Amino acid sequence: MTPTRFAIGKRRRDALVAGGTGLVGRELLDALLADSSVGAVHVLVRTRNAELAKRNGLTQHVVDYAQPLVDLPPADDAFCCIGTTIKAAGSQAAFRAVDFDAALAFARAARAAGARRLGLVSALGADASSRVFYNRVKGELEQAVKTLGYDCVLLARPSLLIGDRAALGQPARPVERAGSALNAALGWLLPDSVRPIAARTVALGLLRALQQCDRPGVFTLPSHELQVLGR
C-alpha cells in the first residue's frame, strides 16, 4: 500500500479504533500506521494484546465495554470495527451486547473525546426495519450513531468478508470458506455489489473515504464502492 501524502505543515490526525483485533480492524491498524497523514493511533482492547504491543506508534487502552467508557485519549477520527456472530456470541442478546451496545458506547465515547469523523463497519443489508435479526441490529446501530453529533459519518456496508482468521486465532467460518472458494472460481462473474470482499479492501476503502470526507453529513459506502476505493 502506498502511504497517503500530506502537505508540509498540515497537522496529522489522531485516530481511535475499536475492534482492532478483528478481521477488518487488524487491516485498518496496518493502514493507519503506514499512513503518513495519520498521527497517534489508539486502539481499544478488552485484554492487552502481545502482538499489538510490538507495533510502533500504536497505543493500547484496555476497556470493559460493560462499563462507561471515560477518559479516552483525544482523537480526530474514530473507526468502529466491532463485530461478532450470533454463533460466536452464543445468543441474540449476547450478539446485541457486542454489535450494538459496545459499538454505540465506543462511538459515543470517541465523540466525547473530540472525534469529528466516524467510520463504522456495518454490513450489507443493514436495515433497522428488517425481519432478519442480524440486519436489524446493524441498521439500528447505523441510526443511533447518526445522532451523536459527528461532522461526518461513513457507514461501510461490505458484502461477505474474506480474510485469514487463522492468523487471528479465530476459527474459520464455513460461509466465509464457501464465499472465498466461490470468489476464486466465479468472482469475476459476480457484480461488485455482492462479490465477497477482502477485509483489507474494506479497511483501505473506509480509511480513504473518511480522509476525503470534507463536508458534513452521513454517507453510506456500499460494497461496490468499497471495492473501488480499496483497490
List pLDDT tens digits, range 182-202: 555 455 566 676 789 999 999
Q: Which three cell numbers stand for residue 126?
A: 443493514
Is the pLDDT at 94 greater than 60, yes or no? yes
pLDDT given at position 143:
98
Q: Which three cell numbers stand for residue 72?
A: 479516552
Report the distance separating Cα 117 and Cα 213, nearest Å: 8
CB atoms within 10 A of CB 54: 8
Confidence of residue 33 (pLDDT cuts 50, 70, 90): very high
Range name among 125-134, 138-147, 186-195 with the lowest pLDDT average = 186-195
pLDDT given at position 167:
62
pLDDT given at position 3:
47
Burial 116-136 (b: 16+ CB within 10 A, else e): bbbbbbbbbebeeeeeeebbb
Domains for the chain: give ranges and CATH numbers.
13-229 (3.40.50.720)
Q: Backbone phi, then psi, for 15, in 5-degree steps?
A: -125, 145
Nearest Cα residue to 78 out of 6, 149, 164: 149
Give the rounded percent of residues in the chain with a pLDDT score beyond 90. Answer: 78
The three-state secondary structure class of 203 is helix
The residues facing 231 across adjacent strands are none
Report the distance separating Cα 156 and Cα 45, nearest Å: 22
CB atoms within 10 A of CB 59: 12
Range name among 54-58, 131-135, 170-174, 215-219 with the lowest pLDDT average = 170-174
* 82 and 102 Cβ atoms separated by less than 8 Å: yes
Report the distance separating Cα 102 and Cα 144, nearest Å: 12
